[in-house]
Amino acid sequence: MSEAVGGHAFQYSSARHQAESAVSGMWLFLATEMMFFGPLFLAWIFCRHADPAAFDAGARQTDLFIGTINTALLITSSLSYSFGVAFIETGRRRAMILCLVIAWLLGGAFLMLKFAVEWPHDFERGLFPGAEFVFTPAERNGAQLFFVFYFFSTAIHGMHLVVGLGLVAWIMLRAREFTPSRNTAVFVVGLYWSFVDMVWIILYPLIYLIGRGP
């Protein structure tokens, strides 16, 4: 049932009630996502604590340049999407579409750098845990734990980003429907898009920085 009554679905008392329910629903979903990523962060603490020297030896083999560029790309992408939300709230639909296209392209650039440049380079250098793993026996176990964390966490984050790209594309395709008074979907997708950025902001130091002491 999605019968609209006075600009809102029948089960809501007002359009504002409907919009607030959508925003709250997305935040509830994001709270469950925090619980989803929480054990991954806990795994990082456990694995590093088991053998910090070998775990950090693995971390030092990651590509800091690409990791840092990717962080800047996602932050800029979130900024661009947030401008898109601000533009549709003032009725500037074309400006919103332009901002969303930029956000989408920056997200796509992140995925390209991560999975078409960084991962293949890691595979070539024998950093994928297995028979060809390059580390010495003394560092092997700890470094393998690091790279299991690295490949698993970046894959899970990448999957979330792919879902985000799909959602942003869906908003762009439906852009004509949004007005200053009807844009909750744009805002709610923006919450998800920024959350994916947040997860990367935490993963970035765990993967690239903490193990790189002088």
Partner 1 sequence: MKVRTTQLFTSYLLLLLLLAAEFGVARLPLGEAARGLVLIPALMMVGIVAMGFMELGKAPQTARFFALAGAVWLAILLGLGCLDPMTRVLYPTQSTAVY
CA quadruple 65, 43, 154, 51: dihedral sign: positive
DSSP string, 71-127: HHHHHHHHHHHHHHHHHHHTT-HHHHHHHHHHHHHHHHHHHIIIIIIIHHHHHHTT-
Return the amino acid letter for 140.
Answer: R
Q: How far is the CB of 198 from partner 1 (least distance, A)?
A: 5
Among 14, 20, 163, 166, binds partner 1 (CB under 8 A): 20
Q: Is 60 in the site for partner 1 (CB under 8 A)?
A: no
Q: Is 45 in the site for partner 1 (CB under 8 A)?
A: yes
Q: How far is the CB of 60 from partner 1 (least distance, A)?
A: 11
Among 12, 115, 151, 204, binds partner 1 (CB under 8 A): 204
DSSP bridge pairs for 31: none
Among 5, 11, 14, 38, binds partner 1 (CB under 8 A): 38
Among 5, 28, 116, 169, binds partner 1 (CB under 8 A): 28
Among 76, 108, 140, 148, binds partner 1 (CB under 8 A): 76
- Residue 162 parent element (H or E): helix 137-173
What's the burial of 167, exposed, middle or buried (CB within 10 Å: 0-12/13-18/19+)?
Answer: middle
Q: What is the largest CA-CA distance in the chain?
A: 70
Which residues are near partner 1 by CB under 8 A?
20, 23-24, 26-28, 30-35, 38-39, 41-42, 45-46, 49-50, 52, 68, 71-72, 75-76, 78-79, 81-83, 86-87, 90, 190-191, 194-195, 197-198, 201-202, 204-205, 209-210, 212-214
